[in-house]
Every structure is written in structure tokens, then in C-alpha cells.
Copies of this chain bind each other. A is one copy, B any other.
Amino acid sequence: MRPLILISNDDGVGAPGLKTLTEVAREMGDVVVVAPQMNASCLSHSLTTQRPLRVEEIHKEEGLEIYACDGTPADCVKLAVTHFCSRKPDLVLSGINHGSNSSINVLYSGTMGAAIEASVLGINAIGFSLLSHNHNTDLTPCVPYVRRITAYVLEHGLPEYVSLNVNIPHIAADQIKGIRLCHEAKAQWLDSFEQRVDPRGRRYWWLTGKFVCDNPEEGSDEWALTNGYVSVVPVNADFTNYKALENLKGLI
């Protein structure tokens, strides 16, 4: 039996990154895509609880089904596993996201929300992101890395509660130096809101800001990306900081 691969993303069902990821996945298994109808960036791990979800069938052929869902990326994975996959998928892929999800962006990322949800459901999962927001950019430099990392995870699996956050530098294929296993770089978003005044004199705020990661440490994903490597961070769905348990003994 061919592996069953579930795919989602946060850029929406029409995004070129999703198409590329689907093409690579089809080389290795049967594919079900359940992706947000619209852009669902920055939705993190959120779930839709105040209204029901709708799903539209986009495409159906032997080995490939594509659905659009009006929920979040994590909704898509939950609903797909429960109602749109004939059995528990062997792998969940998310992306290829148009834009970086390195460093602390994993917190906000819908792409990684989908992958982390899969890991909680006991399914191996990988989120892929390319460091370009341009939907017209050439995605072919990503393909060998998507293929290699996907094949590796299909063969070897991942530890329990772990998904992979893969980011790919936006440089020519022959400039990419290889893959690095990394930890999340410590970084910050600064100056995060632009205040405006509407025609009625009332204030409103647009989220904006500047990603700052000065001198990223060697071994971090930002360092790897800056130096021409594909970064792979194993992401934990258990958020406990075990080391801090020791520091907090005074609290009891």
C-alpha cells in the first residue's frame, strides 16, 4: 500500500507552494489536500469553535483529492484526519509557505500550527517554508530538499510529539549548501503597530514591525539560513521547560 500523505498550508488552497509540495508528495504516496480557502497566515494553532466548518471539493482523481476548508490550518488537519482521509495518514506536510517561519515565527505560523497539530495526533509532520513572500517566485530550488526530507521522515519517522520546521533560503539552487539541524534562534519583532486615524477621528492600529535577530548564534536556524543552508528545527509539542522546573522550587 502506498503511503497516505495529508497536505495543508496557511497561504490557502490556491497557493503555488501547496502545488509544488503536492507534486513532490505524489511521487511518494497517495495525497489528500485539505487547505484553507483563503490566506490563513499568523493563525498559529488556533481552532474554530464559534461557528461550524464548511468544506468544498476542488479536485478528485485516483491518488489525489483536494479540498478547501473555511477553517484554520489546525482545523484542516483535525477535520481531514477525522473525515477526509480513508485511514490515519502516514505523514502530514504543510506548506510550502511563502515566507519565513524560522526562529520565533514558529509561534505565529499557521503552517507550523498544522504540523504541530499532526504531531499531537501521533502523525509524523513537516512544515516547509521558503524565505520569499513572492507567490510568483521559482520554487524549483526547494524541490530536492522537500523530496529528501520527506523521504527521510517517511522511512525513519520522528520522535513522539516532534514535527520538523524546515526553512529554505531564497537563493539560487546551486548556492544552497545543504541541510543543517538547528535550534530556534532567539529573536524579536520590534515596533509592532502603525497607528492611523480614520475619517471619523478614531484611532486604529495595523500590525507591522521589524524582525530583529542580530548575530544569530551558530547552530540556530537564522545562522543556517543566512549562511545558505536549509534549516531543520525539531519542534516540540510538549511546551514544558524541564530545566525551569528546578529553578522554581521556591514557589511550592
- Taking beta carbons and an 8 Å cutoff, which residues of A are in contact with B? 39, 41-50, 52-55, 72, 74-75, 78-79, 82-83, 104, 106-108, 110, 113, 116-117, 120-122, 149, 152, 156, 158-159, 161-162, 164-165, 178-184, 186, 188, 191-193, 195-196, 202-207, 232-245, 247-252
Residues of B within 8 A of A247 (CB): 159, 234
Contact A46 B48 (CB under 8 A): no
Interface of A is mostly: mixed
* A204 touching B82, Cβ below 8 Å: no
A196 to B181, CA, bound (A): 45
Residues of B within 8 A of A179 (CB): 251-252
Given contacts A52-B205, A52-B206, A242-B183, A107 and B83 within 8 Å (CB-CB): no
A54-B237 contact in complex given A113-B44, A242-B183, A252-B181, C-beta closer than 8 Å: no
Q: Is the CB of B181 within 8 A of A78?
A: no
Judging by beta carbons under 8 Å apart, are A207 and B49 in contact? yes
* CB of A12, distance to nearest CB on chain B (Å): 12
* Cross-interface CB contact of A234 among B72, B149, B178, B240, cutoff 8 Å: B240
Given known A78-B207, A113-B44, A244-B158, contact A50–B54 (CB-CB < 8 A):
no
Interface centre among A156, A159, A251 (most CB of B within 10 A): A251
Contact, CB under 8 Å: A181 / B42: no
